[in-house]
Structures are given as C-alpha cells and as structure tokens.
Amino acid sequence: MAKAELRARPVRVKNKTPAPIQITAEQILREGLQEQAAADSLVRAPACQITDEIELDRYLDKKRKSFENLIRRAGPTNPAKWISYARWEESRPDFARARSVFERALSAHRSDHTLFLSYAAFEMRNEFLSHARNVWDRAVSVFPRIDQLWYKYAHMEEMIGNFPGARRVFDRWMRWEPDQEAWLSYVRFELRYKEIERARSIFEGLVRCRNRACAWIAYAKFEIRNGEILKARECYERAVEKLVGQEEEAVELLVAFAGFEEICKETERARGIYKFVLDRIPRDRTEYLYGKFLAFERLYGCQESIEDVIMAKRKFEYEDEVRKNPFNYDVWFDYIWLEESLGRKEKVREVYERAIANVPPAAEKRFWERYIYLWIWYALYEEVDVNDVDRARAVYKECLALIPHDKFSFSKIWLMAADFEIRRLNLKGARVILGNAIGRAPKGTIFEKYIELEWQLGNIDRVRRIYEKYLEWSPENASAWMKYAGMEIDLEETDSARAIFEVALSQPALDKPEDLWKASIDFESVTDRERARELFERLLELTKNVKVWISYGEFEACADEGDNVHERIDRARKVYQRGIDYFKIHAPKLKEERVMLLEHWLTTEASFGELGDTDSVHAMKPKKIKRRRHGEVEKGVAVYEEYIDYLFPEELEASNIKLFQAAYRWKKQKIAS
C-alpha cells in the first residue's frame, strides 16, 4: 500500500533553469576516449615466458596468424602491414621468412616501388649484397622512371667500393635519358674520383640528349672549374649554333655567355654578345636584360656607352608601344625625337617612313589632326637638319597628294609648302601651290597668304583678282571686304573703295555687319560727310540699336573744317532727340538704353562749353528707384529679388495725376457718406 502511494505521488522538479556549464555529447565522447587511451598506456601486456620449443612454436604461430589477419583486414592497398611483418621476421632473425614476406608483398602490390626500397634496405642491412643487387635490378627493370631507385642502387655500389658496378648502373640509367639532375649526379660521381675525361664525355651525352641552355651552361661551368677557358668558350659557341632556332633558350645561353666573357675580362666580346641578344630579345624579358647590360656598362663602360644602353632601352620600349598600337602618333613622335638625338639620318628617315605609313583608317579630320604633324616634322627635318631640299619638296608633295581634299583639308600644310618654295626663291612654285590650294581646298588663311605674297611683290592686279575669288568663295566675310577696301584706300583709290563698301553692304548675309558699317562710315567721315550721314540714315532703317544713335550723335557733334558750330550742335541735338523719342514711343521697355543715350547726350552737351544746354538734358533724366519682383520658388517659398527701375518725368507726372485723382475720389466719397 505504501509503495503504491509512493508511485502515485508526482515528482517535483525544484529547478528547471539550464545549468551554468553545458556539456555536449561530443565533449563526453572525447573525454571518454582520452581516459581510455590513458588507461591503455598504463596497462601493459603480461610478460610471456617461454620455456621450451613447443611453447616458442606456438607463440610464433600465434604471432604470424595475427600478422596474416592484419594483412587480410588492411586490404591490398596498404603495404605497411607487409613491411611490419617482414621486419618482425627480420628481428627474429628469420631471413628466409622475411624474404618470403617481401616476395608475397611484391606479388600483391606490383605498382608500389616503396616495397622494393624496403626489400633492398633489408638485404643491405644484413649484408646480403648479392640479394640486394638482385632486388635493385628487378626494381629498376620494373620502374625505370623512378629516379630514387637508381640513386639508391648506384649509392650502394659506390659505398661497397664497386666503382665499375656503380658506373654500369649509371650507364644503364642514362640509356633511359633521364632529366638533367641525373646526368649531373653521374658527373659528380666521376669527379669524386678525378675522372675528368669521363665527366666530359657524360656532359657530351647530356647536351646530345638534352639540347637545352641550362645543360650547355652547366657543361661550360664544368670546364671553367677545371681551368679550361678555351674549351668553355668553345662550348658556348657550339651551344649558340645548336640553339639558334630556339629564341628563349638562346637568350638564356647568350646572357650566360656574356657573363662568362665578363669574368674573363673580355669586355668587348661581352658587349657584343649583349647587343646581339638585345636585337633578338623577347619583349617580356626586356627589363631584366637591359638591367644586366646597364650594370655591365657601369662597371666597364664610359658615360657615352651608359647613355647608349639607356637610349636602346627606350627604343625597345617605343618599338613595343608602336607594335601594340601603330596609330599612337605621340609614341611615334617620341621615337623620332630619340632617333634624332642620336644623329643617325638613315635611321631617322626609316622611323619617319614607318610612322607616316600608318594612315588613319577613317577619313575624318579629327583622326588626321595629329597624323599630319608627322609629315610637317618630316619635311622640316629634311629641310633644316639634313638640308636636303629635293626630299623636303617630295615630302610636301606626297603629303598633299595623300590628304582627301574633297572631304577635308589642312591649310597649314599648304601654307608651309608655299613658304618652303618662297624660301627657295621659287615664286612660281609657290604660286602653283597656293593656286591649287584655292582651287581644291579654299580657306581664308590661304587667300590671305596669297594676297600678302602678291602685295609684297607689288602685283596689285593679282591682288585684286585674288580678292575677287576670295569674296566669290566667301561673300559673307566682312573682314575680307574691309581688307579689300582698305587696300584700295591705301592706294588712294577712293571710288574703288566706295564701290567695294557698297557691294559689301548690299550682301544679304554678313558674319560681322556692324564692323563693316563702322568701317564704311569711318571711311566716308573722312572723305565725304554727307555720304557718311546717308550711311547713318540707312543703318538706322535697318537697326535702332542705341550704339548707332550714340555713334550718329558723336559724328554730328565732331568739329569739321568750314562747318558752322551752331548748325553742328543743332544737328547733334536733333539726332539725340530722335533717339530719345524712338525709345520713348516705340520701345518704352528699353529704359536702360534710353538712360545710356541720355548720358552720352549730357556728355556731348558738356563738351560744347558755353553753347551747351545741360539743364534741358538733366530735366529728361529719370529717377532711379528700387523695386521688388518675384524670383524663383525655392522649397515652396516665393523668393523676391530687388532690381533697379527708372521712372522718367512723364511717367512720374502721370503717376502723380493718378494719385491726386484717387485722393479726390476718396474725399468725395467720404463727404457723401
């Protein structure tokens, strides 16, 4: 009864919160394994006491059975158990059984050469040299490409003093043509016993088998160590002949060859080799080889030779750049200037020809703008530096023939070609070039150059014809019209100059008509003031700009011989008044222009002295006031800005009248109410 009540009573858990230190299942297993390993290390197998042969046989059978079970459980891919089994048999010592275990292991693991290593080591440890030699023979026959087996085999023969046997092992190995280190091991073996000729024959076999730069370099270093400088040089020369078609190998060999000649104090030979290899250098090894060559020149060369190396390095850099992008004309310029600094004319011409051969692929002027300077520099080089006039003329001619003048042209090259002929006193040739330029690619600068040439020669008729062609080609060019008229003025051909101005002013479109009108008026102001006055009136029909009114007023105010002062002042006042009336009636919004005109009028009246009437002009001046107006809206808030406004007298009077009228209406309304 008590037990039933005890089972029926619920179990109370006092604290359900997690423990402060949490223990994982992984931690429990790890601690268990550690404790088990510690216990195993303390527990030792009981000592086995054997008293007779029967117990010994029983123990050996048990031990062998355990090894067999281990081998069977390990599987065919684990030779370590076989080796442990064989070593146990060796420790007995039962060499026959150990050999049996190794043979069984070799049958089970035919592709594992480590078993042969352990097998041969077992035989050598126990001084069974014939057995060991047999094992090594089998090993190198099965695995001829495993260098470790050959090394161990030859080392064994050398250690027991069987030098012919070791040599035979190396000879067998070399028939398989191994890598260079194997050959060098054979060489070191022969050198240990002072067999120099045999070592030399081995090197011959190496370079015959491995025709590589490193093999030839090792051969040459062998001869150097033995004091055979001539044979070492002969070795390098033979190597150069053998490796002439292999660029990378030849570069490595030639660098070593140059270092050899440097050691032998043959500086000229070393310099020649460096230059030879730099002419055939791969681009990715430029920095390394130039660094070595520069270090060599710093030791054995002079200042000029060092600069030559630096120049050659820069030259190779430019060659690499133009090879990557032949249309990079800036690099071509740098390359050309480098060659010009060296002073080799033929080489400079060669680089110029290579550069100008890279014609821009697109017939657009922006691609030709840099390219055309190559031709200009080429022509200047031939003319100035080389003083070859015929070649310079040929360069200009070829360049002008190359440019597609129907799409675009360059006036600079035409002008330079003409200047070249002028310097050579070939005026006919210069006229031909400028005439062709006008016919094929007319430009304003070409016309001006041709005009300047003929003007200096005094050919006025030619100048007039050129001006006529110029203006036929560009009738809107106001500057050309003014220069043409200016030439006639200089020649005192007044009627011709006036006719030119008339034709120019009648053109429907001009680029700078204000300059042309000013020039025409200035001309007539000196020759015929009535005509100048007519021109001002004609100009005012075209435009009512404030500058025209100011110029007209100043013109009328200027003193002239035989002119009445009062009439002159009266005419000036009329012009200014007409301008003020125009801005007052027809352009009331142009208040600043009206103020400007009043300021000039006031200045003019002041210049009249006692005859001037400044008070009347002052009476027309406006009142300057500040006003506010809406500006741009910023963040939803209207911004006001101040500006200057002008209130003229008539506007001020009108505003006062309106103010009085409003006040009268207010007063009348107040009385009525």
- Between 16 and 601, the more confident residue is 601
Residue 12 within a domain = no
Residue 651 within a domain = yes
Residue 145 within a domain = no
The CA distances from residue 566 to 559, 573, 602, 611, in Å, are 11, 11, 17, 8
Pull the structure tokens for residue 313.
Answer: 């390095």
Pull the structure tokens for residue 366.
Answer: 């922006």
Burial class (CB in 10 A: 0-12, 13-18, 19+), 258: buried
Three-state secondary structure string covering 112-158: CCHHHHHHHHHHHHCCCHHHHHHHHHHHHHHCCCCHHHHHHHHHHHH
Pull the structure tokens for residue 200.
Answer: 């030399």
Residue 244 within a domain = yes
Pull the structure tokens for residue 11.
Answer: 């179990």
What SS3 class is residue 302? coil
Domain end, chosen from 249, 271, 301, is at 301
Domain end, chosen from 279, 301, 323, is at 301
C-beta of residue 262 within 8 angstroms of C-beta of residue 296: yes
| 357: phi then psi, degrees, rounded to nearest 5 | -70, -20
Which range, of 431-435, 521-525, 555-559, averages the lowest pLDDT? 555-559
Pull the structure tokens for residue 393.
Answer: 């003329």
pLDDT score of 644: 84
CA 247 to CA 35: how far, in whole Å? 68
C-beta of residue 208 within 8 angstroms of C-beta of residue 239: no
Range of the domain at 636: 624-672
Burial class (CB in 10 A: 0-12, 13-18, 19+), 459: middle
Domain end, chosen from 301, 323, 355, is at 301
CA 114 to CA 129: how far, in whole Å? 19
Q: Which residues pair with 627 in a beta bridge?
A: 643
Residue 596 within a domain = no
CA 199 to CA 121: how far, in whole Å? 29
Task: Give the residue from 503, 589, 510, 607 showing the smallest Cα distance to 553.
Answer: 607
Mean pLDDT to the nearest integer, 526-541: 87
C-beta of residue 575 within 8 angstroms of C-beta of residue 582: no
Per-residue pLDDT of 312-352, as tens digits, reads 666 767 777 888 888 888 989 888 888 888 777 888 899 99
Residue 653 within a domain = yes
Residue 228 within a domain = yes
Per-residue pLDDT of 11-68, as tens digits, reads 565 677 777 788 888 888 888 888 877 765 555 556 667 777 888 878 888 888 888 8
pLDDT score of 638: 62
CA 624 to CA 645: how far, in whole Å? 6
Q: How many domains are contained in the chain?
A: 2
The CA distances from residue 423 to 389, 410, 429, 516, 575, in Å, are 11, 21, 11, 36, 56
Residue 198 within a domain = no
pLDDT score of 305: 47
Per-residue pLDDT of 472-520, as tens digits, reads 999 999 999 999 999 999 988 889 999 998 999 888 888 888 999 999 9
pLDDT score of 434: 92
